[in-house]
Structure 1
């Protein structure tokens, strides 16, 4: 049982590291979105491990996480579409903090 838990945690950390690397090196918003989703999925994988110890708590945590992730995904897709309509590009080089234009 402990070996399975450790392997799940190691896998989640690897997925988190891959997602973080993708986010840091993203040159467009689609890659940024994919990296963020990888990071969220690593959190889901870690929370799923709770089913072994406390199934009800794990169910609540995963349900809240899935709803939050879906809302975040919809907000990011909406933002990507809005940026694409205004700038005709989804590259991150032209987007500054707070949405200021260069």
Structure 2
């Protein structure tokens, strides 16, 4: 069993999303797409290579900044009524947070 997303709840209850929620979802889609690209094997390999050559601290710092920015932008989208629960953050995938 799993929890329903905001979109699923709205769909089941017959609710409709307004313009602000549509904009919020579009913003979140951008965050999701960015994180999905960073989660690909090809892009993740760059960070893993940096770890192997002694640049792990820099890699972690960059991923941390990206995570913070992603959370802030997705949070703004959620404030507008978007559903941020569908974002698979690169930081969580890479560092196991």
> Which one has a bigger Cα radius of gyration?
1
TM-score (ref. length: structure 2): 0.44
Structure number with the higher helix fraction is 1
TM-score normalised by length of structure 1: 0.42
Larger RCO (alpha carbons 8 Å, 6+ apart): 2
